[in-house]
Amino acid sequence: MEHKNLLVSTSTNLSHCDHHLAIKEINEAHELTRQLRAVLLPSLPAGSLAEVAREILDNIIKSSSLAVFMLQSGGHGHQTSKQHGQGGRPMLDGHKRRKSQNAWSIVTSVPYEDGHQWTKYGQKRINSAKYPRYYHRCIYHKDQDCPATKTVQKVDSDADPPEFIVVYHMQHRCRSIDTHIPFVMESAEASLVKNKSRTDTPSSGDTQMTHLLLSDEISNIPLTPEQWNLDNDLDPVMSFFEFADADLFTAVF
DNA sequence: TGTATTTGACCTGT
DNA sequence: ACAGGTCAAATACA
């Protein structure tokens, strides 16, 4: 409700620069909330208080995610023309279709442990990129025909802690841990070093930053985390609905 | 021995 | 032709 007002005012009155600042601020709030959640919940005794706290924090997290998505779709979203083949011909769902469709990305210092379990199936040196790209798919790819995949690539910068561009492709169809928002609280630099992609118990400690990536093209991932990306076959709003939880949909509209 | 990861080959889109 | 995504045999590891 509050976020609905926020969305209306920002999408109609803010300049392009303001949009970026607003998204940045909301993402910071989002990340801080997640950190608070990670710190607070384990310290609370199991029971109704913990459940209430969890629910409130999750709602804050969802609302902030929603705000960013709606800011993006409210005028500065960028739908690429790549969802159509050359000459405007729609691309078919081929076996090795380029993966710029139905994808969204984030920049994070914690590219793993995002609530889903992944298995690595490939690694590739990317032209002109300093660091290789790692390819992961949901571990339920076979069992439940889950199409979700993600790529992880270290950002070519001196950021401390190191940042990674994580590009998610396709929604999970598996019945796994219930989280659709790809933000995490685990120190995953160590995980990357270990080349370990399966989820373990989250821990806290390091300063970690996660923010939505804004970019013009996922298929040509920029190595500076500047622009927020949502590249989808659907229109921006529908893209969000495919991304978000169903209950988030009903909570807002 | 079973499972996960590595890595070069292969395939497809641009 | 090239770049990027996936496959699958080889390898590592618990």
For residue range A183-204, list pLDDT tens digits in order. 333 333 333 333 343 433 333 3
Mean pLDDT computed over every residue of chain A: 58
Whether residue A108 has pLDDT greater than 60: yes
The most confident of the ranges A125-134, A155-164, A205-214 is A125-134
Separation CA A111–CA A154 (nearest Å): 9
Two structure tokens written together for A168: 């998610």
Q: What is the dihedral of CA A97, A218, A166, A114, to 10 degrees?
A: -70
Mean pLDDT, range A136-141, rounded to an integer: 88
A130 CA to B12 C1', in Å? Answer: 25
Two structure tokens written together for A144: 């439940």
Look up tokens 């208080």; give the residue.
A49
A140 CA to C10 C1', in Å? Answer: 24
Q: Which residue has the higher pLDDT, A80 or A197?
A: A197
Residue nearest to nucleotide B5 (CA to C1'): A120
Residue nearest to nucleotide C3 (CA to C1'): A127
**What band does A122 get if pLDDT is binned at 50, 70 and 90?**
very high
The pLDDT value given to residue A97: 46
Q: Which residue has the higher pLDDT, A13 or A103?
A: A103
The pLDDT value given to residue A158: 74
**What band does A134 get if pLDDT is binned at 50, 70 and 90?**
very high
The pLDDT > 90 percentage for chain A reads: 4
List Cβ neighbours of A74 (8 Å cut-off, separation of 6 or more): A7, A10, A11, A12
A227 CA to C3 C1', in Å? Answer: 23
Whether residue A121 has pLDDT greater than 60: yes
The pLDDT value given to residue A243: 40
Look up tokens 């019945």; give the residue.
A175
**What band does A123 get if pLDDT is binned at 50, 70 and 90?**
very high
- The 10s digit of each residue's pLDDT in A89-101 is 233 333 444 555 5
Burial letters for A59-85: b for 16+ Cβ neighbours within 10 Å, e otherwise?
ebbbbbbbbbbbbbbbebbeeeeebee
Q: Using an 8 Å Cβ cutoff, are A166 and A145 in contact? A: no
Residue nearest to nucleotide C5 (CA to C1'): A96
A180 CA to B13 C1', in Å? Answer: 29
Burial of A162 (0-12, 13-18, 19+ CB in 10 A): middle
Whether residue A179 has pLDDT greater than 80: no
Whether residue A31 has pLDDT greater than 60: yes
Which CATH class for the A81-252 domain?
mainly beta
Whether residue A151 has pLDDT greater than 70: yes
Task: Report chain C positions within 7 A of protein CB atoms.
Answer: 2-8
Angle at A213 between CA A127 and CA A181, to 5 degrees: 120
3-state secondary structure labels for all residues of chain A: CHHHHHHHHHHHHCCHHHHHHHHHHHHHHHHHHHHHHHHHHHHCCCCHHHHHHHHHHHHHHHHHHHHHHHHHHHHHCCCCHHHECHHHCECCCCCCCCCCCCEEEEEECCCCCCCCCEEEEEEECCCCCCCCEEEEEECCCCCCCCCCEEEEEECCCCCCCCCEEEEEECCCCCCCCCCCCCCCCCCCHHHHHCCCCCCCCCCCCCCCCEEECECCCCCCCCCCCCCECEECCCCHHHHHHHHCCHHHHHHHC
